[in-house]
Amino acid sequence: GAVVSQHPSRVICKSGTSVKIECRSLDFQATTMFWYRQFPKQSLMLMATSNEGSKATYEQGVEKDKFLINHASLTLSTLTVTSAHPEDSSFYICSARASGVYTQYFGPGTRLTVL
Amino acid sequence: GESVGLHLPTLSVQEGDNSIINCAYSNSASDYFIWYKQESGKGPQFIIDIRSNMDKRQGQRVTVLLNKTVKHLSLQIAATQPGDSAVYFCAEIPYTSGTYKYIFGTGTRLKVLA
């Protein structure tokens, strides 16, 4: 149980284009989903927290207009990187938690490369 | 032994030995602690968790110890295997956060030597 998927696993795009990453909880209802970014050899950096049906809460320094988050259902959240630039290249990971539970279950991550 | 890499400290352990990975947490109000294992190119995988009202919790080949006096958390892996090679992160959730957000540690890379 507690499986979270992400799609795509890898994406390469040209500078200036937008990329959408999907995060799905496959066998539970995710009250809250989190989006993280991870640079090589570093820990996970929380970008934003999203609750189903509400606007996402962004961490300080994360541009909400650049990283659009939608949590339209209890099993799906999407992260759209708008007008991507090479510095947005990174490993993006989502996680999900069910209501009343502390534990976050993580997706396998999406490797974004912006040329 | 231990060495400090560019960003991640590394623990090298002989196969079959026990591993101890340490973590210092920051918030004395943290209520919940969790260990994750992350293999290269993958998302973190849940290992074990512990609540602040406990000192020790055991799982399969793993034990988590919590010392609230010095705000220290450790993960012990018994009979370390090559498949245990990964980066291990601790995370804490402050009780007062109300957001269920994790505060992650910097991580430790575990290398299992054959």
Q: What is the pLDDT tens value at each position of chain B, 114 positions in all?
A: 443 334 689 999 999 999 999 999 988 888 899 999 999 999 999 999 999 999 999 999 999 999 999 999 999 999 999 999 999 999 998 866 667 889 999 899 999 998
A75-87: average pLDDT:
96
A86-90: average pLDDT:
96
pLDDT at A54 (0 to 100): 85
CB of B34 less than 8 A from some CB of A: yes
pLDDT at B4 (0 to 100): 37
pLDDT at B95 (0 to 100): 66
SS3 assignment, position B104: strand
Q: Which of B5, B45, B106 sits opposite A43 (nearest CB)?
A: B106
pLDDT tens digits, residue range A11-68?
Answer: 999 999 999 999 999 999 999 999 999 998 889 999 999 988 888 999 999 999 999 9
SS3 assignment, position A52: coil
pLDDT at B1 (0 to 100): 42
Whether the predicted pLDDT of A97 surpasses 50 = yes
- Residues from chain A contacting residue B36 (CB–CB below 8 Å): 106
CB of B13 less than 8 A from some CB of A: no
Whether the predicted pLDDT of A73 surpasses 60 = yes
pLDDT at B97 (0 to 100): 60
Q: Which of B36, B44, B101 sits opposite A49 (nearest CB)?
A: B101
- Residues from chain B contacting residue A42 (CB–CB below 8 Å): 7-8, 106-107
Phi, psi values for residue B101, rounded to 5°: -75, 140
Whether the predicted pLDDT of A110 surpasses 90 = yes
Task: Locate the chain A residue with the closest alpha carbon to B93.
Answer: A102
Residue partners of A81: CB distance under 8 A and separation at least 6: A18, A19, A20, A21, A66, A67, A88, A112
As a whole number of Å, the end-to-end CA separation of chain B is 15
Residue partners of A61: CB distance under 8 A and separation at least 6: none
Nearest to A96 by CA among A37, A35, A9: A35
pLDDT at B26 (0 to 100): 85
